[in-house]
Amino acid sequence: MIAESWADLELLDHIVRGGTLSAAGRTLEVDQTTIARRLAALERRIGAALFDRIGGRLTPTPVLATVLDRLRTISEEASLSMAALKRATAELHGHVRVTSVSFVLGRIIAPALGDLERSHPGITLDLVADDQALSFERREADIAVRLGRTGEDTTRIKRIGAIRFRLCRPAGLPSGEHPVVRYRDALAHVPEMLALDRARPRARVVLSADKLEILAEAALALGAEVMLPELSARRDPRFEIVDEATAVADRPAYLMIHPERARVPSVEAVAAFVEAALRGWR
């Protein structure tokens, strides 16, 4: 027996299950006339009758009876596949919480949100700016982007690239020695601060802070040099990049996903979006 589409197989299975055209029509949400027309067309294509009417019910003919087990299996697989698709669609209409430092959220992820909205308009993001990793065990976040490894070994961690930092100064600042602004001591070990130490070992530190946005504005106000993400500096006419080979550093970026949420379609979609945004930003 040859059927031309999944719809043909579904039609036959529901007629077998229901025993009447009207019962099959109710299940498929079409009228009895449509069911009769589709069955007649299918029997013409096959060249044989598929049902006998016995006692007011439709009974499979020997032609159809030979493939009933296969028909039932195919129909059940189709139903399971449709249910899985519906679940996936429902899960793509959910909330996903993403945490990172404010610079990553504000300068990299937020400007790219149009791409996510066009691809998955049902997803709602909750962006949480936090310098410390939120607890994945307590489900305070689904996804985190960290500029460095953490001790949370219950998460899935993937390196997704690096952000290049360059030494910068306010545009128009004359050559010569200038003070610097830098991170506080707790972040003295990060690559961009080590590069700053190499390039300006004797420079006067006029301000320290733990937020990149604060350092950038302070550098402009104080006429100081500062380590900034290269692409960000190139897009900001207020800054110019200091062309010195030692004043360059790459800060690795890591994507972390809660292990219980990693296979949820909405979380997978957001993770792919975040990874693309980070890779395309450098």
- What's the whole-number mean pLDDT along residues 59-70? 84
| CB 260 within 8 Å of CB 114 | no
- What's the whole-number mean pLDDT along residues 80-102? 72
DSSP, residue by residue, 33-87: HHHHHHHHHHHHHHTS--EEEETTEEEE-HHHHTTHHHHHHHHHHHHHHHHHHHH
Residue 170: predicted pLDDT: 97
Residue 196: predicted pLDDT: 97
Region(s) of the chain under CATH 1.10.10.10 = 1-89
Residue 265: predicted pLDDT: 85
How far apart CA 170 and CA 224 sit, in angstroms, is 7
Residue 1: predicted pLDDT: 42
Q: Which amino acid is at 108?
A: I
Predicted confidence (pLDDT) per residue in 261-275, tens digit: 888 888 899 999 999
Domain covering 92-281 in this structure, CATH number: 3.40.190.290
1-89 placed in CATH 1.10.10.10:
yes
pTM attached to this predicted model? 0.63
| CB 183 within 8 Å of CB 220 | no
Residue 47: predicted pLDDT: 85
Structure confidence at residue 137 as a pLDDT band (50, 70, 90): low
Structure confidence at residue 147 as a pLDDT band (50, 70, 90): confident
3-class SS shares of the chain: helix, strand, coil, % to 5:
45, 25, 30
Residue 133 clears pLDDT 60, i.e. is over it: no
Region(s) of the chain under CATH 3.40.190.290 = 92-281
Residue 10: predicted pLDDT: 78
